[in-house]
Amino acid sequence: MEQPLAPYSVCNLAAVNLASVADKVNKTVDFEKLKQTVETGVRMQDNVIDATPYFLEANKKQALGERRVGLGVMGLHDLLIYCETEYGSKEGNELVDQIFETIATTAYRTSIELAKEKGSFPFLVGETEEETNQLRENFINTGYMKKMPEDIRGNILKYGIRNSHLLTVAPTGSTGTMVGVSTGLEPYFSFSYFRSGRLGKFIEVKADIVQEFLDANPGQDPNNLPNWFVTAMELAPEAHADTQCVIQKWVDSSISKTVNAPKGYTVEQVENVYRRLYNGGAKGGTVYVDGSRDSQVLTLKAEDNSFDEKEETTKESNKPHVVLMDTIHELEKTNVTIGSEVGDTCPVCRKGTVEDIGGCNTCTNCNAQLKCGL
């Protein structure tokens, strides 16, 4: 879980598209653009706290008292690829460390400037000046804040800070896919894979960044890409964990990250990965062993695809294949309940019924995963 919360706490999330701060000509990170983006993101999210209509008074009290925001990322792997740096490598982690240090220090300096303009978050303000000073002293002496530069710690003592928390890394699965970049801090699962979604179980997805590279390098063999096009399943689980720990150092909340492990990974090996995460300072972690569930959201093969694949191969095979259906029109033709709840008729194939299979509401005919509680 990327955002541990107190009772009735809420947190509005946003993500910086790191692919947009790549200097593609010099194959480096445009750190000034990154700083400007983070500054804008923090100010925007702080404004959202005041603009939000809260339905529960307890939520409103906690939200306005903490002023908690969670600025995260998407497109990290894209940025590393543009910098021709391998995700999970020593050089990659050194660059990741610089990127997230910049994000963290910029976010905190921006929140201090907001405190000068609008005041600290109320939970950091005591009834007396002495009590306020003590609260600020306690704040800067937490484990996370002790790692921050002295100017940030000193200015919080002097001016306070607008937000109790500023950073997190959420998955950004839908938004990252929509923008066309890698999601959250994850490396690409593959550069051509099949995703289970609301429109069907196996929808082929191809990463735009590969075609962009091939267009810029016409002599490059598409089946023998450079090492910085490493995928999640090619990385050792330890490399996944180490990158997460590098990032966690600069994140005041937590991180959503999957450590991908190959089929046959033992219980003891999984335990060792969790110990590695714990010893590296991670606040949480997920280890997923490939094939450990009957059905899974991401797969490299469409061998279980029950859709009609007669027209699978087209001239536009390099583009994602998306299954579309005129749902409203079809619903008007029938009096049965079509939906994602147990007992409904499947909205994808309209033949099977929806049952709870392995924690997911799944069609018995086409196996589309329509709703998952895991």
How sure is the predictor about 287, in pLDDT bands with cuts at 50, 70 and 90? very high
pTM of the model: 0.78
Q: What is the pLDDT of residues 140-173, one digit of tens each?
A: 999 999 999 999 999 999 999 999 999 999 999 8
Q: What is the pLDDT of residues 124-144, one digit of tens each?
A: 999 999 999 999 999 999 999
Give yes or no for a contact between 70 and 253, defined as CB atoms under 8 angstroms apart.
yes
**For the chain, what is the radius of gyration of the CA atoms?**
23
How much is the average pLDDT of 13-33?
97
pLDDT reported for residue 307: 35
Residues 6+ apart with CB under 8 A from 365: 306, 346, 349, 351, 352, 353
**pLDDT of 316 above 70:** no
pLDDT reported for residue 351: 81
3-state secondary structure of 64: helix
**pLDDT of 19 above 60:** yes
pLDDT reported for residue 199: 57
How sure is the predictor about 35, in pLDDT bands with cuts at 50, 70 and 90? very high
CA 363 to chain centre: 28
* Burial tier of 79 (Cβ tally within 10 Å: 0-12, 13-18, 19+): buried
How much is the average pLDDT of 269-278?
97
Residue with tokens 């008007």: 332
| 167: number of Cβ within 10 Å | 26
**pLDDT of 361 above 90:** no
User: Which neighbouring-strand residues pair with 115?
Assistant: none
How much is the average pLDDT of 192-208?
65
Q: Of 42, 172, 48, 61, which is closest to residue 109 (Cα–Cα)?
A: 42
How much is the average pLDDT of 355-364?
78
pLDDT reported for residue 249: 97
Q: What is the pLDDT of residues 72-129, one digit of tens each?
A: 999 999 999 999 999 999 999 999 999 999 999 999 999 999 999 999 999 999 999 9
Residues 6+ apart with CB under 8 A from 195: 177, 202, 203, 205, 297, 298
Q: Which residue has the higher pLDDT, 248 or 324?
A: 248
pLDDT reported for residue 304: 44
How much is the average pLDDT of 54-71?
97
| Positive/negative CA dihedral, 88, 90, 91, 96 | positive
